[in-house]
Amino acid sequence: GHIVRNWKVRWFVLLQDKLLYYKIEGGKKEPSPKGRILLDGCTITCPCLEYENRPLLIKLKTKTNTDYFLECCSREERDSWALDITGAIHAGHPVQVQELHRMKNSFKLLENISLHHIVERMSDSSTGIKLTHNLEQGNRYKETFTGSALVDWLISNSFAVSRFEAVTLASMLMDENFIKPVGARSTEATRYSDLSEQFLDDSTALYMFAESNKKNISSKEELQFNISELSGTIVKQGFLVKQGHKRKNWKVRRFVLRADPAFLHYYDPTKEENRPVGGFSLRGCLVSALEDNGVPAGVKGNVQGNLFKIITKNDIHYYIQASSKAERAQWIEAIKPLT
Confirm whether 119 is domain-assigned.
Answer: yes
Whole-angstrom distance, CA of residue 246 vs CA of residue 177: 10
pLDDT in tens, 65-104: 899 999 887 777 887 888 888 888 877 554 554 555 555 4
- What is the domain extent for residue 163? 115-213
pLDDT in tens, 228-269: 778 888 999 988 988 887 667 788 888 999 998 899 999 888
Q: Which of 181, 213, 245 is the last residue of a domain?
A: 213
Q: Which CATH number do you get for residue 89?
A: 2.30.29.30
The dihedrals phi and psi of 209, each to the nearest 5 degrees, come to -65, 140
CB 26 within 8 A of CB 235: no
pLDDT in tens, 137-151: 667 788 899 999 999
Q: Examine the domain organization and report whether 33 and 125 are in the same domain.
A: no
Residues facing residue 210 across a β-bridge? none
What 331-336 contacts at long range (C-beta under 8 Å, 24+ apart), as own/partner pairs, is: 331/236, 331/238, 331/240, 331/255, 331/257, 332/287, 332/288, 332/289, 332/308, 334/235, 334/236, 334/257, 335/257, 335/264, 335/282, 335/285, 335/287, 335/310, 336/287
> In a 3-state reduction of DSSP, which class is residue 109?
helix
Q: Which of 213, 237, 257 is the last residue of a domain?
A: 213
User: Please, what's the largest Cα pairwise distance for the chain?
Assistant: 64
Mean pLDDT of 15-31: 85
How confident is residue 176, by pLDDT bands cut at 50, 70 and 90? confident
Q: Examine the domain organization and report whether 187 and 152 are in the same domain.
A: yes
Q: Check residue 99 and give its pLDDT.
A: 55
Confirm whether 302 is domain-assigned.
Answer: yes
User: What percent of the chain is modeled with pLDDT above 70?
Assistant: 79
Whole-angstrom distance, CA of residue 240 vs CA of residue 230: 19
How confident is residue 287, by pLDDT bands cut at 50, 70 and 90? very high
Strands (DSSP E) along 147-190, which ranges?
179-182
Q: Which of 213, 244, 272 is the last residue of a domain?
A: 213
Q: Examine the domain organization and report whether 101 and 121 are in the same domain.
A: no
Confirm whether 222 is domain-assigned.
Answer: no
Q: Examine the domain organization and report whether 283 and 189 are in the same domain.
A: no
Q: Examine the domain organization and report whether 123 and 206 are in the same domain.
A: yes
Q: Check residue 217 and give its pLDDT.
A: 41
Which has more pLDDT, 96 or 114?
Answer: 114
- Tally of structural domains, the chain: 3
pTM assigned to the model = 0.39
Taking phi first (over 0 means left), then psi (-120 to 50 degrees means alpha), and beta for anything else, what does residue 108 get? alpha
Q: Check residue 197 and give its pLDDT.
A: 62
Q: Examine the domain organization and report whether 303 and 285 are in the same domain.
A: yes
Confirm whether 200 is domain-assigned.
Answer: yes
Question: With 0-12 CB in 10 A as exposed, 13-18 as middle and 19+ as buried, what is 284?
Answer: exposed
